[in-house]
Every structure is written in structure tokens, then in C-alpha cells.
Amino acid sequence: MLGILMSIVAGAAMSLQGVINTRLGEKIGLYESNTFVQGTAFLLAIITMFLLGKGNFTDLLHVNKIYWLGGVLGLVITITVMLAIGHLSPTYAISIILISQLLVAAIIDAFALFGSEQIHFGWTKYTGIALMIAGVILFKWKSL
């Protein structure tokens, strides 16, 4: 149940953050707002680490170096979400983002990438993905 609740919170926070960051970027600039957002997150992450952290930074030397790209992807995510929402409506942009997330997650699960457990993809999962894509197309379809 905790996983479901955290997924709902994460989805809501991502949608809110995307719109808020985009509006901030319209006022102060795309890269300036990204710097503010990432800087605020960095400061809060440090505080949270000191209060709740139990790990060890020296363990970074013993992990696959591809896992170091999380910060780079954070930058890519923030900038591209802001640009997408700025050029599309929030609903349309987030719908496409969600489909992209689902497709990439499905590839990760199907091929057991990054240490994930392999999950079999049958016709029901493919149908679900197709229905999501169809839903976005129907949502964007201009009525006559």
C-alpha cells in the first residue's frame, strides 16, 4: 500500500512541479529557474541527509558508474518538462511524458535492465500501453 501511496504523491508532485517550474521560467528564465529549483532541492537534500541518512558516500566508488547519471537526468528532466509544458498544455505534455515513462519502464522490466527483476510482457500489457497512447491521441483530437 505504501508503494501505491508514494506513486500517487510522486505523480501529483511531478505534475505540479512541471507547471510551477514552467511558470517560474517564464518570469525569470528557463535556466535561471532550473538553477533555483535544483539549488533548492540540493539544499533540502543535504538537510534531509543529515537528519535521516544512513548511507555512506564512499560506497559511490563501488557502484556501476552509470548510476552516477541520476543528477544529469534530473537536469534533463527538469528542463525538458518545462519546455514541453511551455509548448503544449500541461495535460497533453504530462500525458506524453507518462506514456514515455511507461514505455521505458516496460523495456527496463522486460529486459531486466539495471538489476530489475524481469517481468513477462503479454498481450494484456501491450494492450494497456496501446490504450494509453490512444487516450492521448483522443484527448488531443480536435473536435469538428
**pTM (two decimals):** 0.82
Q: How many domains does the chain have?
A: 2
**CA separation for the pair 41, 77 (Å, rounded):** 14
Which residues of the chain, if any, have pLDDT below 70? 142-144
Q: What is the pLDDT of residue 72?
A: 94
The reported pLDDT for the residue numbered 143 is 53
CA angle 81, 41, 17 (to 5 degrees): 35
> For residue 104, what is its C-alpha cell?
521505458
Residues 34 and 60 placed together within one structural domain of the fold: yes
pLDDT score, position 128: 87
The reply to whether 45 and 10 lie within a common domain is yes
Please check whether residues 41 and 63 belong to one and the same domain: yes
Q: Are residues 104 and 137 in the same domain?
A: yes
Same domain, 112 and 79: no
Q: Which residue segment(s) compose the domain that 1 sits in?
A: 1-87
7 shares its domain with 72: yes
Task: Give every CB contact of residue 60 below 8 A, 6+ residues apart in sequence.
Answer: 68
- 39, 68, 87 — which closes off a domain? 87
